[in-house]
Each structure stands twice: as structure tokens, then as C-alpha cells.
Amino acid sequence: MNENIKWFAGAVAVVGLSIGAVIYFSMRDEAAPPPAPTVAAKPPPMPEPEEPAIKHPVAEPERQQPLPSLNESDVPMQQALADLVGKESVERLFKPDELVRHLVVSIDNLPEQKVAERIRPLKRVPGKFEVGGTEDMPVLNPANYERYDSLVQLLRSTDTHRLVATYSHYYPLFQDAYESLGHPPQYFNDRVVEVIDHLLATPDVPDPIPLAQPNVLYEFADPKLESLTAGQKALIRMGSGNAAVVKEKLRELRTELLSQPRK
């Protein structure tokens, strides 16, 4: 089972409206001239390409120095995260390479069925996946939840306002990485809010949680749970207590993102 959690988390771009103009021609108030040859009507002009509206703009702060390029952003982003949660936590939790790109791709993929291992920004949760119950009726062992405790407590203690301020400072890099995925023109922060809403819709599942093993890997025995997305299943796997903490932080994050002043 996928054992990583993703705690960033947002909305789809709104399509704008394009209106074409109609041109009228008037005749002079005189005797009608001889009939002119029939000319095919000129087709109306094609509408301009629609530009998606931005629902949740990020207010960019004033900067003393220009941002690094996306390709040179790893060291500055690691330092920014270290200032936010501590150097030891960054080294323990985060993969050092292509941090912004991997954050963006992982966030974008959380509402999908899988998040590829190679693009996950977080290292694997320590410890071994534990199965409880019996051989005929396996369940998710609650001992697994403790493996997420340190990460969840770090998330709980992180100042949401400072987190959003760091995100806003580096936002152009996140937008560049999002556009490089090949999407139609969209605004990454809208996607962040959409993913947050998606994660908050994750059902609360009480213990015990039955498992099945159709092949090598275990999965949820309940088809409805197994059909959930990668992000939602990650929340369930960490246990209802940890999931509640993550959801509360996501609500704080959403509120902070939407309260930014608009320019």
C-alpha cells in the first residue's frame, strides 16, 4: 500500500465568456442603384481564445532580491523549509532534489489513483507496514498509525501563517512548475484549493479496517474505500486520529489561502 502522506494540499479554473460583435450596414436614402453582383457574406470573426479566470489569486510580496530560476530553486527552498520547520526535520522528511517540481506534481496527482514513487517529495514513512487480525480476516494494524505521529505532530506545530507566507514568496516557481506539466493555462493555487477540498471530503473510517490481499500487496477489502484516490487513502491509512489533525490543518491552510489580500 502507498504509505506516504501529502499535507499540502485546492480549485479548477473558471472559463471566461467571449462575445462576438454584429456589424450593420445602412442604405443611403436615395433611389436604388442598379443591382450589384451578389457577394458571399463574410463569415463572422472567430472568437478570441478563452482565458480561464483566477479564483484564488496569491498576493505576491515585495522582494528584496529576485527569485532563483526553477532549476536552481532546491537550495533556497530547502533553506526556507528549514526556517519553517527546522533543518533536522527537512533532512529527515524531504527528498532534496527537484523539490518544487515534485511538490507540484504530487499535489496535482493526489486526486488520482496513484502518485508515482519517483516524484514524491517526502521520504518513506519509517517502519514496516503491519497487518493485524487473522489470516482469513486481515485488518489494518493500528500500530501503523504511530509511524505517522512525528510527521503529523510537526504539521500540527507548523505556523500556518508562516507556511502560507513562504508559499506566497516562492509562488511564481510553483506556477512555473505547474505550467510545465502541460496543462492548459491554469492557476496552481486554484488547484491547491481544489485538492484541499478533495482531501477534506475523505470519509472518517473507524477501526478495524478490513484488508484483502488479491495479489502481493494488501488493499482495502471495502471496494468503496479501495476506489478512493491516493490522497484520500493515505489519510485513512494514518488512522482517524492523525487524519483529524491533518484535516484541521488543511482547513486552517484553506482559510489562510483565501484570506490573502487581492491586488
CA dist., res. 56 & res. 51, Å (int): 15
Task: Enumerate residue ranges in the chain where pLDDT < 70.
Answer: 1-52, 261-263
Give, in degrees to the nearest 5, the angle at Cα 203 between 202 and 204: 120
pTM of the entire predicted model: 0.78
pLDDT value at residue 60: 81
CA dist., res. 85 & res. 87, Å (int): 7
In a domain, 8, yes or no: no
Based on the structure, what is the number of domains in the chain? 1
In a domain, 53, yes or no: yes
pLDDT value at residue 250: 98
Q: Is the dihedral of CA 252, 207, 205, 108 positive or negative?
A: positive
Domain with 137, as residue range(s), is 14-258
Find out whether 89 and 78 touch, Cβ atoms under 8 Å: no
Instruction: Give residues with Cβ within 8 angstroms of 123, minimum separation 6.
Output: 92, 93, 94, 95
Find out whether 111 and 11 touch, Cβ atoms under 8 Å: no
In a domain, 159, yes or no: yes
pLDDT value at residue 170: 96
pLDDT value at residue 182: 86
In a domain, 1, yes or no: no
In a domain, 4, yes or no: no
In a domain, 18, yes or no: yes
Find out whether 81 and 90 touch, Cβ atoms under 8 Å: yes
In a domain, 104, yes or no: yes
pLDDT value at residue 2: 38
